[in-house]
Amino acid sequence: MSSPTLRAVAVYCGSSPGRDPAYRDAAERLGTLVARRGIRLVYGGGHVGLMGVVADAALAAGGDVLGVITEALAEREVQHRGLPALEVVPTMHGRKARMVAAADAVVVLPGGMGTLDELFEAATWTQLGIHQVPCGVLDVAGYYAPLRAWLDRAVAERFVPAHHRDVVQFADDPEALLDALAAWTPSGGDKWLDRTPPPPR
């Protein structure tokens, strides 16, 4: 099965495997599915943690994989040595920018602070109209349930416009998530809910 509107996805995830074996299983399923759908995997270029799992799964299924890694991480020998394409960039910011520029959507697996940084930078750029890249969160074993609740709360409290809520999609199944990202269309609308300054205290 192919995804006509998804030619490439940038996958952000942990450089550690995490405690729950379900995280590794989800990374394997995602990597395999991306390859079978003919979608290019763009990821952080490492061989460690969930990063290595998703890349190895995509490669094993005959997929096209692009790794993007920083000079510092490459020098620490955490880069994947079996990739068909690897780009080494100077900075973490450059790494994120290159990955998103090479992708039609972002998919997030379980990870830590760096993974959330990558997710929200990509989502914010879509919100601001810098690019039009939807973000999908694979909520494995409820890992991202608190994040989903926070995002809904941010909409309710008028810090995130409701028409931008679907910039970040959530699903607990890789197939459903890729389908949602392939069907996503920009909602448009202004980022700013209230342009008037708050009243003086």
pTM above 0.85, yes or no: yes
In this predicted structure, what is the pLDDT of residue 77?
A: 76
- CA gap 24, 39 in Å, rounded: 20
Burial class (CB in 10 A: 0-12, 13-18, 19+), 198: exposed
- CA gap 18, 173 in Å, rounded: 18
Residues 40-96 have pLDDT tens digits of 999 999 999 999 999 999 999 999 999 999 999 988 878 999 999 999 999 999 999
Helices (H), the chain: 21-36, 49-60, 71-75, 92-101, 113-127, 145-156, 174-183
- CA gap 40, 198 in Å, rounded: 46
The full set of domain ranges for the chain reads: 8-183
CATH number assigned to the domain covering 8-183: 3.40.50.450
CB 85 within 8 A of CB 65: yes
Query: In this structure, what token pair is assigned to residue 89?
Result: 């960039």
In this predicted structure, what is the pLDDT of residue 75?
A: 86
Q: Which residue(s) pair with 11 in the sheet? A: 107
